[in-house]
Amino acid sequence: MTPDELSGALSAALASAVADGTLALPADAVPASVHVERPRQREHGDWATNVALQLAKKAGTTPRALAEDLAARLAATPGIKAADVAGPGFLNITLEAGAAGELARTIVTAGDAYGRTDALAGQVHNLEYISANPTGPLHIGHTRWAALGDALARIMRAAGADVTAEYYINDAGAQMDKFGASIIARAKGEAVPEGGYPGEYVVERAAEVLEQEPDLLSLPADEALTTARELGYQAQLEAIRRTLDAFGVHFDVWFSERTLHESGAVEQAVARLREQGHVFDVDGAVWLRTTDFGDDKDRVMIRANGEPTYFAADAAYYLSKKDRGFPGKIYLLGADHHGYINRLKAIAACAGDDPEANIEVLIGQLVNIGGERMGKRRGNALYMDDLIEWLGSDPLRYSLARYPADSPLSLSGEEMLKQSNDNPVYYVQYAHSRTCAVDRNAADRAVVRVAPDGSDAFDPALLTHETEAALVGALTEFPRIVSQAAELREPHRVARYLESLAADYHKWYQECRVTPYPDEEVTDTHRTRLWLNDAVRQVLANGLELLGVSAPERM
């Protein structure tokens, strides 16, 4: 029996009480689904609900009396072993072993689909993250946003949402000219100009530009700057793509800021916002009245000299997302972008959207990783490709995804590489590899999921050990965890769940054998436990995939 099935049984019991007059509650007040959750203490049963406390007053009775009536009705429900009332009206429910254990077959049959829900069905979101300037490699901060952003996209899709992952290429503005000038200086063997980019990677970009345009240094100054800027930009953007590919992060859309200016979208955005009554002119500049919507000050869109500001591009970009059919717009920004929250929400309001529904701004906090490492610092920054070379994609992605985005993070490189139970990613991946080893050992002893005559050997009533009850209960929680992580935008919930599941599995492995001892016969208990083992393997693999982490078969 799944939580949804139990929820349905509770709703049916409430409806029955209303129908026979026991419960003085309008029929339309009976909830279509009743919330159930795992008790903190195992001895309190498999599931618990406080629905009696929620409805008793409206029904003109006491919570305990309502809970006792529900307990009596549930007692006749197939799959429910006991329903007990606790405290002022909590209902603790214990399932029959067979009803609970049936989940193992459900999971194995569902395969990759287990854990996917419709919690966010019908929602359409644009998720923008990283969006680094194409003037240098991705650094350690971008690495965190990449791990979190990609995991969030995967989890929201698993919960039924339509999510487009987007990278906003900041390829307009003075920084691009500074990048071009830095490339020219390095091509000449000179120091970069003041305000330029000193990183060693600029030497690499300069070599790539010279390879494409050997006559760069003999071109007129303006033409040389344009050539260096454009070729360097394309080379750096391609380097960013390669780094993200190595990290397992792929974007659906790469959106160029430059196109907003070249297409006239910035001017059109100003005009559209003016039509809605939020634009005004002062001292030759064009302003957006964002203070009407919670911003700390009004924002300049067009300077008095006619040049648009970054804010004008932000407004045009927001309107582009709106026009492209994204009701939900999620921004994952860096730690120094707190000031963007109110101004982006103000843009949404000025554009006629609901800033509480159509836009979310998530701020990721800083991260540092200490310890001996491979790779090198270039331009006083630790870059993503250095981190991947040093630590590998899996430890990085898992470690960065297992903490809330808004918590500052300090990690140890040595700890992330340890092959021990103290290392969370190793602990979870080892649990998956152990399930695979169990499968291999079982096959060697002819333990398979069907009986020798080909009949169904799965008997969930045989899963009676306390570790099996705990393991089945943990497996039941996975779809709920995915839905919660998606709704709350918190990928770390999936990681922490996997660690708890791995702990339950390791305990079960020590207590219950899938492969019989040499002098024992293979029984249906062994075959049924193989189903449970394979269900754990599937859930661990599904959860790791949501985090962009591999599920190794051997370690």
One-letter amino acid identity for 462? L
pLDDT > 90? residue 413: no
For residue 10, give the CATH number of its domain.
Answer: 3.30.1360.70
pLDDT at 374 (0 to 100): 38
What is the per-residue pLDDT for 381?
A: 66
In the predicted structure, residue 470 carries a pLDDT above the cut 50? yes
Write the CATH number for 393.
3.40.50.620
| Statement to judge: residues 401 and 457 lie in one domain | no
**Which of 78-92, 377-391, 528-542 ranks highest by mean pLDDT?**
528-542
Query: Is residue 501 assigned to a domain?
Result: yes
CA atoms within 13 A on the CB side of 107: 31
Question: What is the mean predicted confidence (pLDDT) over 77-106?
Answer: 87
Closest CA to 409 of 401, 421, 417, 418: 401
Show the tokens assigned to 520. 């024992």
Residue 479 pLDDT grade (very low, low, confident, very high; cuts 50, 70, 90): very high
How far is 325 from 338, CA to CA, in rounded Å?
Answer: 26
- In the prediction, which pLDDT does 378 show? 44
Instruction: Look at residue 183 and tell me if it is in a domain.
Output: yes
Closest CA to 348 of 296, 401, 294, 397: 294
Rounded to 10 degrees, the C-alpha dihedral 387/390/393/396 comes to: -60
Instruction: Clarify whether residues 40 and 167 are in a common domain.
Output: no
pLDDT surpassing 90 at residue 159? yes
Do 412 and 442 have their domain in common?
Answer: no
**For 179-238, how does the pLDDT look when each residue is reduced to its tens digit (9 = 90+)?**
999 999 999 999 999 999 988 899 999 999 999 999 999 999 999 999 999 999 999 999
Query: Is the model's pLDDT at 379 over the cut of 50?
Result: no
Q: What are the Cα distances from residue 329, in Å, to 42, 120, 127, 321? A: 41, 14, 6, 7
What CATH number is attached to the domain comprising 529? 1.10.730.10
In the three-class reduction of DSSP (H, G, I as helix; E, B as strand; rest coil), residue 414 is classed as helix
User: What is the model's pLDDT at position 43?
Assistant: 75
* Per-residue pLDDT, 326: 98
Number of compact structural domains in the chain = 3
Q: Determine the pLDDT at residue 377.
A: 36
Q: Same domain for 382 and 518?
A: no
Judge whether 262 lies within some domain: no
* In the predicted structure, residue 372 carries a pLDDT above the cut 50: no
List pLDDT tens digits, range 33-78: 888 888 877 777 888 999 999 888 888 889 999 999 899 999 888 8
Alpha carbon dihedral 377, 382, 385, 391, in 10-degree steps, equals 100
Tell me which residue has tokens 């200086």.
185
Residues 464 and 405 in one domain: no
Rounded to the nearest integer, the mean pLDDT of the chain is 92
Q: Nearest 5 degrees, angle CA 534-CA 489-CA 156?
A: 55
Same domain, 388 and 455: no
CA–CA dist 236, 175 (Å, integer): 14
Range of the domain at 462: 419-546
Please count the helices (runs of H) and the strands (runs of E) in the chain.
Answer: 19, 13
Using the predicted structure, report yes or no on whether residue 366 has a pLDDT greater than 70. Answer: yes
**Closest of 519, 543, 211, 224 to residue 401, by C-alpha:** 543
Token pair recorded at residue 153:
């996209």
Neighbours of 115 (CB within 10 A): 25
Q: What is the rounded distance in angstroms from the CA atom of residue 131 to the CA atom of residue 255?
A: 9
- Residue 376 and residue 460 in one domain: no
Residues 6 or more apart whose Cβ sits within 8 Å of residue 23: 14, 17, 59, 61, 66, 69
Judge whether 264 lies within some domain: no
Q: Is residue 121 part of a domain?
A: no
At 376 the pLDDT is 35
One domain, residues 193 and 216: yes
Asked, for residue 299, whether it belongs to a domain, the answer is no
Which of 396, 417, 438 terminates a domain? The answer is 417
Q: What percent of the chain stands above pLDDT 70?
A: 98
Same domain, 395 and 248: yes
- Work out the pLDDT band at 357, boundaries 50, 70, 90: very high
pLDDT at position 380 over 70 = no
pLDDT in tens, 300-356: 999 999 999 999 999 999 999 999 999 999 999 988 788 889 999 999 999 999 999
pLDDT at 279 over 80: yes
* Beta-carbon contacts of residue 423 (< 8 Å; ≥ 6 apart): 395, 415, 416, 417
Contacts of 479 (CB under 8 A, 6+ apart): 3, 114, 115, 116, 117
pLDDT given for residue 39 in this prediction:
82
Task: Answer with the residue of higher pLDDT: 157 or 5.
Answer: 157
What stretches of 247-309 show up as alpha helix (H) in DSSP? 257-262, 265-275
Residues 460 and 531 in one domain: yes
Confidence band of 375 (pLDDT split at 50, 70, 90): very low
CB half-sphere exposure, 430, CA atoms < 13 A: 14
What Rg value do the Cα atoms of the chain yield, rounded? Answer: 29
